[in-house]
Structure 1
Amino acid sequence: MLNASELVLVAVTTLTTTAVVATLTFVLLRVLHRAGAAAKLAMVLSGAVISIAASTVAVALEMYLSGHDVIVLAWVIGISAVMSTAAAWLIARSAVRSSVATLVASTRRVGHGDVVEPSTTGLPELDAVSAELAESSQRLAEARAQVAELDNARTQLFAWISHDLRTPLAGMRAMAEAIEEGTAGDPDEYIRLIRAKIDTVTQMVGDLFELSRLQSGTLELHPEPVILLDLVSDAVSDVHAIASSRGIAIAQDGVDGHIIWADARELTRAIGNLLANGVRHAPDHSTILIRADTLENDQLILSVIDQGEGVTAENLGHMFDVGWRADASRTTHTGGAGLGLAIVRGIVEAHGGHVQARRTDEGFQLDLILPAAG
């Protein structure tokens, strides 16, 4: 039975030996900091084994064992330590090499644009890295798809803009040459048509500038409390002449009595674009309804409902995309570059709201959902 002093001696000897071996192991790891994971793991395991072996031999010497017993004990511990360290190094090297090789292969595939699945290595830490890598590959694939879609949309937009600018410019050139050569039957009418085409080109350029500000985030809003009826009235006045020429009436329901926090100029433009779109596609002698409702979360929904054919169900989610012209029923003889609804979405989203398109029993409906007034 060990007495108190002997227990203290064993504890001090063990702590001292362990501290010395741990310090040497730490220094070795710092010196060989470029070594592989398997080698570092083997160093740590070796340090633990050597610490146990050294502590055991030191305590044995202090216990005044015979020289023969100490030698036998040293040989047993030494052989066991060497074999244990070698086995640990081989096992660690095999496990780490296999796991790391799998991660390297997955990383290389991600670099080539592939989507990888998480792998099971048996090591929780590496499994977590593999799962994160798989998730990152999925996000990268989605990002690449979005970039490709945006690039395709930008290419189509350039083609549409070039076409839509070339048409009025060619007409203006032909009429200007006719006036210059004296072959114009009615020069005043030619001048009026040239001015109309200039207005069309000017509006297209203005739409492009507005869209660039929205997409670049440089649009500065100046929100203030505004009366919704005033905004709607201003937008209606802009399209009244065109609507009246086709016998289209514009009615309102529930618009009066709402005050919203918004940039009056920009939101009027958004409402005007919705009305222009409705007038463009509504049948002659029909009615366009502008309706305002308050949702349960105090959001305001402003709807423009026309009696046109609308678009197909698969195109409802693309109507507010830049340059969208997928449905022939809503693009025939419309002119423009497909920017009006894209500008609507940009303005509404800049106000913290969103847009949507849907078919209802009342007709084809475009909605502006705006946040509650500040």
Structure 2
Amino acid sequence: MPMRPELEAITLAAGTAGAVGLAGAALTLLVARRSPAAATLLGPVVGVASVAAGVVVTTRAMFLSEHDATLIALVLLAAAPVALAIGVLLFRSVRRLDRRAQQRLADEQRELELARSRQDMITWASHDLRTPLSSIRVMSEALEDGLVTDQDDYHRRIRAEADRMTVMVDDLLELSRLRSSAPADPGEAVDLAEVAATVVASQQPVAQQQRVHLRLTGDAPAPVRAAAGELDRVVANVVSNAVRESAAGSDVVVRVAAEPAAEEVVLDVDDACGGLAEEALAHAFEPGWRGSSARSAGAGVGVGLTIAHALVERSGGTITLANHGPGCRVRITLPRHTPAPDAR
């Protein structure tokens, strides 16, 4: 018994649309693995394509009149832009939601890292503050019990330990401020060469005491846009760290490079610390890190490079640490300040 024309048309249209739809669905799934948003744009197109394929095949098989075939084609042409528009709207909505989800995930991850960092800082501060506090307690008890012959020496040592604790607290407060406040807008031009010269001069007594040869090369003007006080602290942290970690009799070289045509100004600080392992280099800017030295070996809580890193980034620059020569090189790169042309 032959199939009725209506049933034959339905079967042919459903089969064709289903075949095209399955192929399009497979393509959409492949695209979705790379970009869910793009898959939402492809979905309506697949729907229209499958319907169009079913209608075209059916009209050709059923030998419809030219008028009817044209009418169906016009209907499909009218439906296609609507489907595409819906796809575009879905694409934008899904992409917006995806970005929000990624931003929310990044914020949550950042909060977890900050919470972990705060806990680590509390642990480090408790450890580092315990040593000078214990020293002050022991020396105070010795003075109180009259067991000290040179009281002036003990007074100086107590004062030194108190100063050491002050440095620790100041470092922690500065790091907390940097992590909790919004980046400041650098509003003034600062000569990095002049800052470097001032810092090198102030560090000379410490370097001479440790028998380290500290010198500065490159005195050409190196204008950058940054907060003057923050830039002073960055250079001072890096240079003092280099002097402290270098061996006696070695050189610490501070170099400022500012090519006239360059868009950036570079400050290099080369020390003679003996170099670091790759794993240590990767953690150098984390709070509390002091390489292989004992944590109680110097003043502060090991956040000098962390503070320098944060301040440089606030000024739109970068800071890196790498092995170089007999030690390490800290490189600070800052955008060059270019005065705005006078309005005429």
**Residues in 2 aligned to 1:255 and 1:329: alpha-carbon distance in whole angstroms:** 33
**CA offsets, 1:111-169, max 9 Å, x none?**
xxxx9995979835599577887777766666555544443332222111111111111
Aligned to 2:43: 123
Alignment match of 2:254 (pick from 290, 295, 298) = 290
Alignment match of 2:172 (pick from 198, 202, 208) = 208
Q: Do the aligned residues in 2 keep the contact of 1:299 with 1:371 (CA within 8 Å)?
A: yes
Which structure 2 residues correspond to residues 235-254 of structure 1 after superposition, within 5 A?
235-254=199-218
**Residues in 1 aligned to 2:138 and 2:132: alpha-carbon distance in whole angstroms:** 10
* Higher mean displacement: 186-195 or 260-269: 260-269
**Residues in 1 aligned to 2:175 and 2:242: alpha-carbon distance in whole angstroms:** 20
Query: Does residue 1:304 correspond to 2:269, yes or no?
Result: yes
Q: TM-score, normalised by structure 2?
A: 0.66
Which structure 2 residues correspond to residues 1-374 of structure 1 after superposition, within 5 A?
123-124=43-44, 125=87, 145-217=109-181, 223-294=187-258, 297-325=262-290, 327-329=291-293, 333-361=297-325, 363-374=327-338
Change (3 A) 1:219 1:132: closer
Q: Do the aligned residues in 1 keep the contact of 2:266 with 2:332 (CA within 8 Å)?
A: yes
Q: Do the aligned residues in 1 keep the contact of 2:223 with 2:337 (CA within 8 Å)?
A: yes
Change (3 A) 1:236 1:223: farther
Q: TM-score, normalised by structure 1?
A: 0.61
Task: Select the structure with the greater relative contact order (CA < 8 A; seq sep ≥ 6).
Answer: 2
**CA offsets, 1:27-83, max 9 Å, x none?**
xxxxxxxxxxxxxxxxxxxxxxxxxxxxxxxxxxxxxxxxxxxxxxxxxxxx99xx9
Which one-letter code corresponds to 1:318 in the other structure? H
3-state SS of the aligned residue for 1:310?
A: coil
Q: CA deviation at 1:219?
A: 7.0
**Residues in 2 aligned to 1:262 and 1:159: alpha-carbon distance in whole angstroms:** 33
The percentage of aligned residue pairs carrying the same residue is 31
Q: CA deviation at 1:331?
A: 5.5
Q: CA deviation at 1:345?
A: 1.3
How many residues are treated as equivalent by the alignment?
A: 274
Change (3 A) 1:265 1:136: closer
Q: CA deviation at 1:200?
A: 0.8
RMSD of the TM alignment (CA)? Answer: 4.1
Which one-letter code corresponds to 1:231 in the other structure? V
Q: CA deviation at 1:242?
A: 1.9
Aligned to 1:44: none
Listed as ranges, the gaps of 5+ residues in structure 1 are 1-78, 96-101, 103-114
**Residues in 1 aligned to 2:279 and 2:161: alpha-carbon distance in whole angstroms:** 34
3-state SS of the aligned residue for 2:322?
A: strand
Q: Do the aligned residues in 1 keep the contact of 2:275 with 2:324 (CA within 8 Å)?
A: no
Q: CA deviation at 1:239?
A: 2.3
**CA offsets, 1:157-197, max 9 Å, x none?**
21111111111111111111211221123211111011111
Q: Do the aligned residues in 2 keep the contact of 1:309 with 1:329 (CA within 8 Å)?
A: no
Q: CA deviation at 1:243?
A: 1.0
**Residues in 2 aligned to 1:173 and 1:194: alpha-carbon distance in whole angstroms:** 9
Change (3 A) 1:222 1:191: farther
3-state SS of the aligned residue for 2:285?
A: coil
**Residues in 2 aligned to 1:171 and 1:223: alpha-carbon distance in whole angstroms:** 44
**Residues in 2 aligned to 1:303 and 1:331: alpha-carbon distance in whole angstroms:** 26
